[in-house]
Amino acid sequence: MILGFFLIWVGTNACVYDSYADLYIPIHLNYRGWFVFIATFFVIIPAIMALDFAFDQGSKPIGYDDYGILFELDGKTFEKMARSIPFPAAEHFAGFLETPWIVVSGWTFFGLCAFMPFGGGFTAQKFFACLLAILIGIVYGLCVLPSYWNGELKSYRGWSYVYFAFMMFLFTSIGVDGQYPLITSIMGVIMILLGQHVDMLEKKRGKYWLQGGESNPHEIAFGYGHPLYVLGWLLLSMAMSIPM
């Protein structure tokens, strides 16, 4: 819904490229901008929401890593939902939605957008923006989420601090050379992190489950966490869409 209102706003306030200097927040909708929005609104956000939904519905972590931590969900929630679809591979594909690799892939795609449009040359800013995005995807998808699913509170807090630090470095690298991208990326990252924090307080298996293995007695179906999170991604995507 937020993305829809954003596109309506863009469509009714479009201007030629030469007039961008007159805008308070320039929005670049070249192919770089579209790829950024695809990475965020069609890969990262749906993948994370799918994992949260599956875990809330009872999917359990499976697949040990080198440290003995279960790092993905068993796929039971979406496999069960896919049984009514008359397609042979529907269950297998649905089960794949409960792995963190989609989140990692989305963040990698987001990072590669730093080099677009291709042919613009190699800079340290582009390199670090891309590297940080890839590292964030790995840390969040393969460390933060598994620690949360396994109820490892100490590990979850430790990896969350690493995730927060990388997010801070990310908005710095995105907005280092301009006022508009810096302000927009700062606001975006703050809203993303705040939205995730609020969502942990609102969802069924959030803070209460992580601390004591119990479901949230005050679960909120439509709270403030998701809107803040999505709005934050919208702002961060706007900052990332501005060529570096």
Measured CA to CA, the distance from residue 163 to residue 144 in angstroms comes to 8
Listed residue (23, 77, 70) closest to 50, CA to CA = 77
Average model confidence (pLDDT) across the chain: 83
pLDDT at 232 over 70: yes
What are the DSSP calls for 37-100, one per residue? HHHIIIIIHHHHHHHHHHHHTT--EEEE-TTS-EEEE--HHHHHHHTTS--TTHHHHHHHTTST
- What is the Cα 224 distance to its own chain's centre? 17
Give the tens place of pLDDT for each residue, 52-111.
888 888 888 886 655 555 678 888 887 787 777 777 667 777 778 888 999 999 999 999
- Using the structure block, give the residue that is written with the tokens 């990326």: 185
Residue 118 CB neighbours (<10 A): 9
Tokens for 44, please give them.
């990262």
